[in-house]
Amino acid sequence: MPDESVAADERQQWVIRIMDLQRSLVRKWEHEARTMPWPSQLAGGLVDYQALRFIEREANLSAGELARRLRMAESAVTGVLNRLESRGLAARERRARDRRIVRIAITEAGRAALAAADEVMMEQASVTVRNLSVSDLATMYDLLHKMAAESDPAQADVL
């Protein structure tokens, strides 16, 4: 019969190693995201990119839902949306039946800005992932998605 305390200790050590590695990678990626040459349309950098990506993925997204996706206060998201809308990247639409409900849609200019940002991001990320196969990347995604689903099921289905 295997010693469960040894298995638990080994599992704990792996979790600690993974968390340390994850923190290191996130810090590196956040630094790169802050310093990378974002397309001029995305003046807000990473937050503008992430907002547009969510808006593109989810039809009829509300400002409140976007705030939850971005893990930001609704008041902060209003500023992001004002910036995206003033640049023609997104549009807010009021519902005819209930004018209090505002939905956000991506524009063609927003799609073009995402494509330009994706190119810049791939240039930056290619150094980090250059030695990983598509299969490696898919496995990494699957494992991270499982972890995200365990920690926040509502958020995992939109990632």
- Report residue 103: phi and psi, to 5°: -110, 155
Q: How far apart are CA 152 and CA 123, in angstroms?
A: 30
Specify the pLDDT at position 139. Answer: 92
Q: How far apart are CA 119 and CA 39, in angstroms?
A: 10
More confident residue, 99 or 41: 41
106 SS3 class: strand
Domain borders along the chain are 36-156
Q: How far apart are CA 55 and CA 148, in angstroms?
A: 20
| Stretch 104-131: mean pLDDT | 89
73 SS3 class: coil
Q: What is the tens place of the pLDDT at every residue in 123-158?
A: 877 777 888 899 999 998 898 888 888 877 766 565
| Stretch 36-42: mean pLDDT | 87
Specify the pLDDT at position 83. Answer: 94
Top-level class of domain 36-156: mainly alpha
Q: How far apart are CA 147 and CA 159, in angstroms?
A: 12
Q: What is the tens place of the pLDDT at every residue in 44-94?
A: 888 999 999 999 999 888 989 999 999 999 999 999 999 999 999 999 988
Q: Where are the beta strands (DSSP E) in 10-54?
A: none
Specify the pLDDT at position 159. Answer: 57
Specify the pLDDT at position 158. Answer: 57
Q: How far apart are CA 49 and CA 26, in angstroms?
A: 17
Q: How far apart are CA 108 and CA 105, in angstroms?
A: 10
